[in-house]
Chain A
């Protein structure tokens, strides 16, 4: 474990010297915090939704079943904000992909991989260090932005009932458990790709594919095909724990020190 943290600290001190990387880590959390809070801010004072009710009456009535005891206006705010909750779930997996995909191929390109592999570090420690170094900042940035979003919602929503409905135990488990697990899965896959390709650009291109299943989750939620409930969340959590373990196992097995050193040019 000690060697993993040594590697994580080195990665951070290296990566965060790069302003572009800092920007890429902070941009998404920032933008997805500002947008929903901006919407809430713009809705302040607009409590009369009779026009909306008259135009979208039947649809709103259907949606109200999702809103429980909320009023029509509270429900509107809740439904808007709920779409952003999925983004907070996805963010920890999307943000670190670039860093993780560069992790091994980057070391190879800068000729630092051979001296690194010559140390007594094991393959498991190396990959875990690389994965955690990419995942932790993304998870922290996502959680911090979520907390800002939650605080902002509590302040700007039309009533505390919106926040209470939004930050249900179900969504909290999603953000605080599924998000980090999703992040670990994303970075493990990206690190695995990084150790199998010999070009950073190819690594990045392939690693972007990691985002696709997560994007499907978002589209599913947005289109109403997928409704996050307790059972689905439990299923996703268990599946992610298994996927994370499997990915770390396969990443270690697929990491061929010899071919990386001798065949990559």
Chain B
């Protein structure tokens, strides 16, 4: 019997989705709920099951157990329809080297039953800056151009959901920036994007929410919320000179959870800096502190990731 069908604005939903290869679990009990228009990052080490998850959600491989819906289509029941609705950029996106960029795209557009093939091919080749080289064999293209072409291929049929597996892997910074900007543009168009990446800075910049994943789901939330959950919030006061009186005064505040000093910086842990900062600033100034800068201490997504993966390894 089906479990509850996902809510209307849910584009991807998985319930205890599991994939085993023999006795080895690649993905175990994965529960996700991704809303329409969201950019969702799937983060995890090599072999964590990210690609397997994408393959399952694109109906390329069947799950061992559990359920999933993509764009309203149930995995295992509406696979052909599901494939028409999703676009995939594979980890190593192969292209037909002997064929031109235009022929590569028109072939896939026809298979996806795109109505105006030429128009659609032109649209994406132009959008990705490849129109001028449309007649050239793909074998002569640089890695960045190939990646752009592979992204165009994934978009030809205007999929509602896009799966991008390592979209900027191996690209030079300039090409990576073009691809990232393009992903943002797609997101603004309202497409739902699942992004697998090892580039945590990229995930931080692009993703509304991320899931840290190692066979099992370790955590999922927005990067900001994950930081807060794991590390709390902290304010950094850059002072001309640190005095022990300042530290003592700060520690007396009931809402201050901790105070640390690093060189001329005082790091104050607290829950609601927007509310408490004015009082803290006043207090320090009253004590004679010369405040140079005040800012929130920002943990990187890498810190979050390493913490979660580290905990999992220890467990």
Chain A residues in the interface with B (C-beta under 8 A)? 3, 6-7, 10, 13-14, 17-18, 107, 110-122, 257-258, 261-262
Contacts of B62 in A (CB 8 A): 258
Instruction: Decide yes or no: A262 and B21 within 8 Å by CB, A14-B99, A257-B60 being known contacts.
Output: yes
Contact present for B93 and A257 (CB under 8 Å): no
Least CB distance, A114 to chain B, in whole angstroms: 5
Instruction: Decide yes or no: A115 and B94 within 8 Å by CB, A6-B110, A121-B111, A261-B60 being known contacts.
Output: yes
Instruction: Please tell me which one of the listed residues B93, B103, B113 contacts residue A120 in the complex, with CB atoms under 8 A apart.
Output: B113
Q: Does B292 lie at the interface of the complex (its beta carbon under 8 Å from any beta carbon of A)?
A: no
Contacts of A110 in B (CB 8 A): 94, 96-97
- Interface size of B by CB at 8 A reads 32
Q: Does B12 lie at the interface of the complex (its beta carbon under 8 Å from any beta carbon of A)?
A: no
Smallest CB-CB A-B distances: 10 pairs: A111-B94, A112-B94, A119-B111, A17-B98, A258-B61, A6-B110, A111-B92, A10-B107, A110-B94, A114-B90
Q: Which residue of B lies closest to A114 (CB)?
A: B90
* Docked pose: A13 CA to B90 CA in angstroms: 24
Contact present for A112 and B95 (CB under 8 Å): yes
Most buried by A among B86, B90, B97, B154: B90
If A13-B99, A118-B86, A120-B80 are given as contacts, then 14 extra A-B residue pairs at C-beta distance below 8 Å, sorted by A number, are A6-B110, A6-B111, A7-B111, A10-B99, A14-B99, A110-B94, A112-B94, A114-B60, A114-B88, A115-B88, A115-B90, A118-B90, A121-B111, A258-B62
Q: Which residue of B lies closest to A118 (CB)?
A: B88
Contacts of A7 in B (CB 8 A): 111
Q: Which of B81-109 contact A (CB under 8 A)?
A: 81, 83-84, 86, 88, 90, 92-99, 103, 107-108
Contact present for B90 and A111 (CB under 8 Å): yes
* Docked pose: A251 CA to B61 CA in angstroms: 19
Least CB distance, A83 to chain B, in whole angstroms: 38
* Docked pose: A119 CA to B153 CA in angstroms: 11
Q: Does B210 lie at the interface of the complex (its beta carbon under 8 Å from any beta carbon of A)?
A: no
* Docked pose: A112 CA to B107 CA in angstroms: 12
Q: Which residue of A lies closest to B85 (CB)?
A: A120
Contact present for B60 and A117 (CB under 8 Å): yes
Q: Which residue of B lies closest to A10 (CB)?
A: B107
Contact present for A120 and B111 (CB under 8 Å): yes
* Docked pose: A116 CA to B62 CA in angstroms: 17
Contacts of A3 in B (CB 8 A): 110-111
Contact present for B92 and A119 (CB under 8 Å): no
Most buried by A among B96, B103, B150, B153: B96
Least CB distance, A252 to chain B, in whole angstroms: 15
* Docked pose: A121 CA to B153 CA in angstroms: 15
Q: Which of B52-80 contact A (CB under 8 A)?
A: 52, 55, 58, 60-62, 80
Least CB distance, B52 to chain A, in whole angstroms: 8
Q: Does B246 lie at the interface of the complex (its beta carbon under 8 Å from any beta carbon of A)?
A: no
Contacts of A18 in B (CB 8 A): 98
* Docked pose: A88 CA to B203 CA in angstroms: 61
Contact present for B55 and A119 (CB under 8 Å): no
* Docked pose: A257 CA to B111 CA in angstroms: 18
Least CB distance, B101 to chain A, in whole angstroms: 13
Contacts of A112 in B (CB 8 A): 94-96
Contact present for A120 and B90 (CB under 8 Å): no
Contact present for B61 and A261 (CB under 8 Å): yes
Q: Which of B125-179 contact A (CB under 8 A)?
A: 150, 153-154
Instruction: Please tell me which one of the listed residues A6, A14, A113, A119 contacts residue B83 in the complex, with CB atoms under 8 A apart.
Output: A119
19 contacting pairs across A/B (C-beta < 8 A): A3-B110, A3-B111, A6-B110, A10-B99, A14-B99, A17-B98, A17-B99, A110-B96, A110-B97, A112-B94, A114-B90, A115-B90, A116-B111, A118-B58, A118-B60, A118-B88, A119-B111, A120-B84, A122-B80
Q: Which residue of A lies closest to B98 (CB)?
A: A17
Contacts of B97 in A (CB 8 A): 110
Q: Which residue of A lies closest to B26 (CB)?
A: A262
Contact present for A120 and B112 (CB under 8 Å): yes
Most buried by A among B52, B58, B60, B83: B60
